């Protein structure tokens, strides 16, 4: 069984071909999504907690501080690591 396709006329402009929009559309969507993601990341920056200035207010902030300082502090290692 042979596949029959309808040929496109030679004078069809490029923007009227559906395959062109499929090729351009994918990367265009990715560019728009990355710009939106960068905008969200720039607008909603997470604050950095500095325990030396007393910015850590309560117990809820302590796990983040402990995780940040884990590699720098030899006393914070688990007993199996010593």
- pLDDT, one tens digit per residue, over 22-42 is 999 999 999 999 999 999 999
> What mean pLDDT, rounded, does the chain reach?
77
Cα separations (Å) of 67 from 16, 28, 53, 63, 64? 56, 39, 18, 6, 5
SS3 of 9-76: CCCCCHHHCHHHHHHHHHHHHHHHHHHHHHHHHHHCCCCCCCHHHCCCCCHHHHHHHHHHHCCCCHHH
What is the model's pLDDT at position 10? Answer: 77
Ranges of each domain in the chain: 15-45, 47-77
Q: What are 79's two structure tokens?
A: 């007993």
């Amino acid at each position: 069984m042979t596949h029959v396709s309808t040929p496109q006329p030679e004078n069809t402009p490029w923007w009227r071909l559906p395959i062109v929009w499929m090729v351009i559309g994918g990367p265009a969507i990715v560019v728009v999504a990355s710009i939106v993601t960068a905008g969200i990341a720039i607008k909603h920056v997470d604050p950095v907690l500095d325990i030396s200035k007393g910015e850590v207010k309560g117990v809820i902030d302590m796990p983040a501080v402990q995780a940040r300082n884990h590699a720098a502090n030899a006393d914070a290692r688990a007993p199996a690591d010593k």
